[in-house]
Amino acid sequence: MKKAIYLDYAASTPVDKKVLEAMMPYLRRHYGNPSSTHRFGQKTRAAIEQARVKVASFLHCQADEVIFTSGATEANNLAIKGIIQNTKYRIQDIKPHIVTTAIEHESVLEPCRTLEKEGIAEVTYVKPQKDGIVLLEDIENAIKQNTVLVSVMYANSEIGTMQPIANFGNRLKSKIQNQESKILFHTDAVQAANFLDCDVQKLGVDLLTLSGHKIYGPKGVGVLYKKSGVRISPFVEGGGQELGLRSGTENVAAIVGMGVATEGLENPRMMVQNILIRQLRDKLIKAILRKIPYSKLTGSQEKRLPNNAHFRFQGVEGRDAVIALNQKGIAVATGSACSEKTQEPSHVLLALGLTNKDALSSVRITLGKQTKLEDVEKTVKALAAMVAQLRKTKV
């Protein structure tokens, strides 16, 4: 049986060996409820707080600014809905205003749409340029007197384009000096964490989201960084865990794994691996553009994550290519795993101005620290043959 080739790291990463080793005691031996006062509970409580310190070290923030959640989706919902619940405009019968972009993840867009439908908030969705980069002036021009939150994704989950979040954060600080109330700045850093600086002080953010399974940690755990002094309302209520913002007995093993995973991001070896990943990605892009006629790279060639390559193949359905490659033991995607099942054109690609047909011709290839040169070479060869065959059957 041929070795399977996994090139869908943007969807999920394998759990790192050190992460798994750290988690195992909390899956087998240390099973106490962290809210219990006896020694079993104290043991798991201590593990959670140690993980909180590790995440805080990665983000360069205080430990009590780290909130553990069930994942990035919950963290994004908590950030957006939690801020709106606390805004004074609702009391004054004025709708609070959110500024976000048209290329955010569904876990940002859907809460915003729900708030709109329920008449609770007003939302402006800023469109990017054709290369997937959002202009700072477009964000600034969208801000109103009743704007309370700006949410911009650090790096896009589909096309990998990176936004200048630190520039946004610094400009927002000066922009809001004349505002009647503070504008909070949130970024979804789920895809960025592996490769980009997530120092919240440098970024100038008030809220930031992370996900465990995107950084070689476990599924079912995420983080919301909430700057001290920022007030948000919980939407999961109960026993008041996670600083009163996320009730429910904590997933201790996953939280421990999250802490170790963030430690791994600052390991010098990871930085070297990221350079190798970029080099492999560049070889992949050049080879595909050279060997497959009428193929196009989506998004900025320079301002994109080092592991992301997103293509459009004229005359080919991206979904057909993904299925055909899967039969050859090669795992790639058409886009975000959360939306891939819909078979609808990607909202990200449509926001770039692509037609439905072009949007449906896309394939996303994302590399990781276990990707080898031979994986890239085999994928290019298989993809070239596959595209040629699919085009032939369409004629």
Pairing mode of beta strands 308-313, 330-331: unpaired
Residue with tokens 């080898």: 372
Q: How many CB atoms lie within 10 A of CB 271?
A: 11
- Cβ–Cβ < 8 Å for 309, 297: yes
Q: What phi and psi values does residue 335 have, to the nearest 5 degrees? A: 175, -150
Q: Which amino acid belongs to residue 78?
A: L
Residue with tokens 């569904």: 106
Q: Which amino acid belongs to residue 77?
A: N
- Cβ–Cβ < 8 Å for 48, 255: yes
| Inter-residue long-range contacts of 35-42, CB under 8 Å, 24+ positions, other chains counted | 35/239, 35/241, 35/249
Cα gap 201→271, rounded to integer Å? 21
- Token reading at 25: 């005691």
The burial class, CB within 10 Å (0-12 / 13-18 / 19+), for 191 is buried
Cα gap 255→49, rounded to integer Å? 9
Q: Out of 61, 112, 198, 338, which one is annotated catalytic?
A: 338
Cα gap 170→188, rounded to integer Å? 17
Residue 61: active-site member? no
- Token reading at 18: 């050190």
Q: How many CB atoms lie within 10 A of CB 293?
A: 13
Cα gap 245→8, rounded to integer Å? 33
Residue with tokens 């990176």: 162
3-state secondary structure 208-269: EEEEHHHCCCCCCCEEEEECCCCCCCCCCCCCCCCCCCCCCCCCHHHHHHHHHHHHHHCCHH
- Token reading at 386: 């596959």
Query: Which residues are known to be catalytic?
Result: 338
